[in-house]
Amino acid sequence: MRVFHVQPGAVTETHTLPLVLPPRGFVWVACGRREFELEHGHVQAALQVMCGTTLVDLHVSDLLNNQLPSHYDYTSQYDILVFRRLAAGQSETDMAQPGAVLTEPVRRGGPPVLRRIDTSPVGFAVFDRVLVTVHPAGCGVLDQYAARLLASAGLPSRNAGAGLPTSPADQMLRIVNHMVDGYLDLRRELTRQLDHWQAELLSPRTRFTNWNSLLDARISLHQLDEICEDQRSAIQDWTEALEDWEAGEAIGGQRGLELLKVRSRDVLEHIERVVHHVRRLEQNAETAVQMHFSAQSNRTNDIMRTLTALTAVFLPLNLIAGIFGMNFEFIPFIHERGGFWWAMGSMVFVAVGLSVYFWRKRYLRSSSGR
């Protein structure tokens, strides 16, 4: 468990829950899901002392649920936000053993970048001056943002506190924005992998055999689309709830409330960018598959057209050979000295004539030669 006291110009970290609310700033309590499951009694007692209330049992269950979709809920004393992250990490974290990091990653198909995206939920309980966050085991988001927070507090005096959050709600939005931007950092590698598959699908010189990975990628992209939709709905509910907030001192007055609304809209815009990118990748993968089968169909049509033309060329030749192979005693040219050469000449003439005719009709050319 990591406990931070954030105040204007300074951030201090401890590993014990405070027994009294500091006179300035706010307290951020960050813990793992398994740790919160074991220590939530102490957390509830600390919240009772600092905020005069505790978390509802149903909200505690939501924070402990490692498969809950993104959603928003509230009470008169605090707000609850569960947000599934899209960050590089170990997949299936907390699925089999809550709070334990898997030593062996689950084997899945699809691009490596999709296998590295961790969609475990992160829970936020936002009070007036206290923020409680529940993270999956080995959460890189917590470590990265905590390091950034401490680094911001260590800036020179003229810049000290310039990047520090002013309230628990501001802190929550910054963490959520950090999680969303984590996917935006991965999109370049994902786009490169899908572009490589598209090139293989449309190349006439290669035979694409990686269908299982492509199918897994399409399924994963569809799941990401659903996760992003839940994220957008949760942030939209949060943004609508901000309209009923009062400009109190805990959030920095009217200016602080306006900054919260601006940051909420910015987070929502980032999520919409992720949704747009995921849907575009999913559409590109579907289009590449359709173009692949269309190209295969065109190549098959070219082959069948060529074979049909060649069959039409040799059909008259078989007819001539069949006529002169009939078992009749009297057949024209059958007993003449030059009959064989007349038959061969007529067969060559017919074959050449039909070949030239089909060539001019482009029946013997491929579609790429047009």
* CATH number, domain with residue 364: 1.20.58
Residue percentage of the chain with pLDDT more than 90: 17
Q: Are residues 168 and 282 in the same domain?
A: yes
Residue 8, pLDDT score: 82
| Interacting residues of 155 by C-beta distance below 8 A, sequence separation 6+ | 161, 162, 163
For 52: left if phi > 0, alpha if psi spans -120 to 50, otherwise beta; the answer is: left
SS3 164: coil
Kindly report the pTM of this predicted structure.
0.69
Number of Cα atoms under 13 Å in the Cβ half of residue 45: 7
Q: Are residues 275 and 309 in the same domain?
A: no
Range of the domain at 308: 302-369
Q: Are residues 80 and 191 in the same domain?
A: yes
Q: Are residues 270 and 306 in the same domain?
A: no
Residue 236 has pLDDT above 80, yes or no: yes
For the segment 172-185, what is each residue's pLDDT rounded down to a tens digit?
999 998 888 777 66
Q: Partners of 74 in the beta sheet?
A: 79
Distance CA 177, CA 175 (A): 5
| Domain CATH code at residue 198 | 3.30.460.20
Residue where the block lists tokens 């169909």: 297
Q: Mean per-residue pLDDT for 79-108?
A: 55
Q: Are residues 270 and 307 in the same domain?
A: no
Residue 95 has pLDDT above 60, yes or no: no
The answer to whether 68 and 87 have CB atoms below 8 angstroms apart is no
Torsion sign over Cα 356, 358, 361, 364: negative
Q: Are residues 333 and 197 in the same domain?
A: no
Distance CA 274, CA 180 (A): 8
Q: Partners of 125 in the beta sheet?
A: 80, 132
Please name which of 201, 198, 202 lies closest in space to residue 190, comparing C-alpha atoms.
198
Terminal-to-terminal C-alpha distance of the chain: 69
Q: Are residues 212 and 131 in the same domain?
A: yes
The answer to whether 239 and 268 have CB atoms below 8 angstroms apart is yes
Q: Are residues 243 and 172 in the same domain?
A: yes
Q: Are residues 328 and 270 in the same domain?
A: no
The answer to whether 170 and 68 have CB atoms below 8 angstroms apart is no
Domain end among 294, 325, 350: 294
Q: Are residues 130 and 200 in the same domain?
A: yes
Residue 298 has pLDDT above 80, yes or no: no
More confident: 85 or 20:
20
The answer to whether 72 and 79 have CB atoms below 8 angstroms apart is yes
The b-or-e profile of 146-174 (16+ CB within 10 A means b, else e) is beebeebbeeeeeeebeebbbbbbbbbbb
Question: Which H helix or E strand runs over 289?
Answer: helix 253-324
Q: How many domains does the chain have?
A: 2
Distance CA 122, CA 84 (A): 6
Q: Are residues 266 and 348 in the same domain?
A: no
Residue 93 has pLDDT above 50, yes or no: no
Domain end among 262, 277, 294: 294
Domain end among 248, 278, 294: 294
Residue 130, pLDDT score: 92
Residue 196, pLDDT score: 73
For the segment 127-137, what is each residue's pLDDT rounded down to a tens digit?
989 999 999 88
Torsion sign over Cα 195, 201, 205, 209: positive
The answer to whether 139 and 66 have CB atoms below 8 angstroms apart is no
- What mean pLDDT, rounded, does the chain reach? 79
Residue 210, pLDDT score: 67
The answer to whether 201 and 35 have CB atoms below 8 angstroms apart is no
Neighbours of 266 (CB within 10 A): 13
Q: Are residues 274 and 322 in the same domain?
A: no
